[in-house]
Amino acid sequence: MTDLGVAGTSLLCDYTLGIGDDCLILSHRLSEWAARAPDFEEDVALANLALDLLGQARSLLAYAGELERSGRSEDDLAYWRDDRQFRNLLLVEQPNGDFALTITRHLLFSTHQVLLYGALAQSSDATIRGIAAKGVMEARYHQEHAALWTLRLGDGTAESHARMERALLELWPLTGEMFQLSPGLSELVVAGVAVNPSNLQPPWESQIGATLQTAALEIPAVPQRRCDGRFGIHSEHLGHLLAEMQHLHRSHPDAVW
């Protein structure tokens, strides 16, 4: 654990929690495809993507609990927070929609995650560095999987192409949140612990643009808008997701495996 003082440790806790919440919420979204994917092979693939993200979430939430120093475990953070206490991006909480929307969401997120983890693998914080070094290998596979499906759907039939265009138009405005510099984050950046998110935007846009071009798609001409998921301001979708995800644990709080 990096010695950042009380204030800096609190900032690192929030930062770790945000990245962990991204993984947790998107993991749950992908798990909703179980037995509903277009074919059996994709059923297994999406389940494996969800498990990768869940593993990352566990490591990050466990570290956030350690930084918080209140005795809360990864399960406490996953199951006993309300929606306003979650710090995930709005992008990852959006409903699955059709398969094209799920693939588009995963392409946008995983491309960012590869860049983020790649940078965090050089973090001055040993725990963050270790999680990122492992996570970037998984994220690269996620990005490749999403890119292959983007090509198949974007350069496929007229129907699949139109669905990809609609998905991009719907999700693109939410992507700006990945690059917002929140108050206090600059302190972690200066300490070498965190990454300035705005530095990731140019390579992200370049990679996304190249992938879309191969799929006969274009970046939609709609602006990215400010979102405040990192501050607990979410869409109505997160509350419904948490009601499902947390139901069993809250119904039987004393149950053990």
Map residue 121 onto helix, strand or coil. coil
Work out whether the CA dihedral 112, 33, 64, 124 comes out positive or negative: negative
pLDDT value at residue 6: 82
pLDDT value at residue 203: 98
Work out whether the CA dihedral 130, 132, 138, 141 comes out positive or negative: negative
pLDDT value at residue 38: 85
pLDDT value at residue 3: 67
pLDDT value at residue 7: 78
Tokens at 191, concatenated: 């300490």
The helix (run of H) or strand (run of E) holding residue 249 is helix 247-251
Question: Do 136 and 10 meet the contact criterion of CB atoms below 8 Å apart?
Answer: no
From first to last of the 257 residues of the chain, give the pLDDT tens digit.
Answer: 566 788 789 999 999 999 999 999 999 999 999 988 888 889 999 999 999 999 999 999 999 999 999 889 999 999 999 999 999 999 999 999 999 999 999 999 999 999 999 999 999 999 999 999 999 999 999 999 999 999 999 999 999 999 999 999 999 999 999 999 887 899 999 999 999 999 999 999 999 999 999 999 999 999 999 999 999 999 999 999 999 999 999 999 887 76
Q: Which domains does the chain have, with CATH numbers?
A: 5-251 (1.20.1260.10)
